[in-house]
Amino acid sequence: MPINLALVVLFAMLSVFDLVMTLGVTVTPETCEESNPLAAMVMSQSGNAGTIVFKLLMVGLVVVCVDKVSRYRPIVARCVLVFAVALMSAVAIYHVYIACFFAGESRQLENLNKPNTEWVEQQESKLREN
């Protein structure tokens, strides 16, 4: 019994989303870092190219292992694949949360850097009155 193609495709799509978000979020390493220590080591030593290769190899490893297991224990293989999809879904939700959090934080920082024109005008009018 072959592995469930829909689950494999979903796992691959979630993994690609993880890769894209990882590369996008870790552009500013002072604010974000890779949570996976092995991936962080690869990222620090090999940069984005190494990260891409590493993450794609991990996806391939999971798919090959699930395929091998599915030949003898199809129910176990399906459970492993469902677990992998659930795990990658949690990672995707975490990435969305981080992206929203930092987007809000950057907007707040932008507002702090903008001068409060109303306050400045009030101060200037007080100076003119004196």
HEC-encoded secondary structure of 75-93 = HHHHHHHHHHHHHHHHHHH
Spatial distance between the Cα atoms of 15 and 27, rounded to a whole number of angstroms: 18
Spatial distance between the Cα atoms of 72 and 118, rounded to a whole number of angstroms: 73
pLDDT of residue 15: 93
Q: Is the sign of the CA dihedral 88, 94, 99, 102 positive or negative?
A: negative
pLDDT of residue 104: 60
* Residue 43 contacts residue 26 (beta carbons within 8 Å): yes
In the chain, what are the domain boundaries?
A: 5-129
Spatial distance between the Cα atoms of 116 and 110, rounded to a whole number of angstroms: 12
pLDDT of residue 31: 53
Spatial distance between the Cα atoms of 42 and 55, rounded to a whole number of angstroms: 10
pTM: 0.70
Per-residue pLDDT of the chain (130 residues; tens, 9 = 90+): 566 889 999 999 999 998 888 887 665 545 556 777 888 888 888 888 888 999 999 999 999 999 999 999 999 999 999 999 999 999 999 888 877 776 665 555 455 555 556 666 777 777 777 6
pLDDT of residue 122: 73
pLDDT of residue 20: 87
* Residue 50 contacts residue 43 (beta carbons within 8 Å): yes
Spatial distance between the Cα atoms of 103 and 106, rounded to a whole number of angstroms: 5
Q: Which long-range contacts (CB under 8 A, 24 or more apart) does 38-41 make?
A: none
pLDDT of residue 117: 65
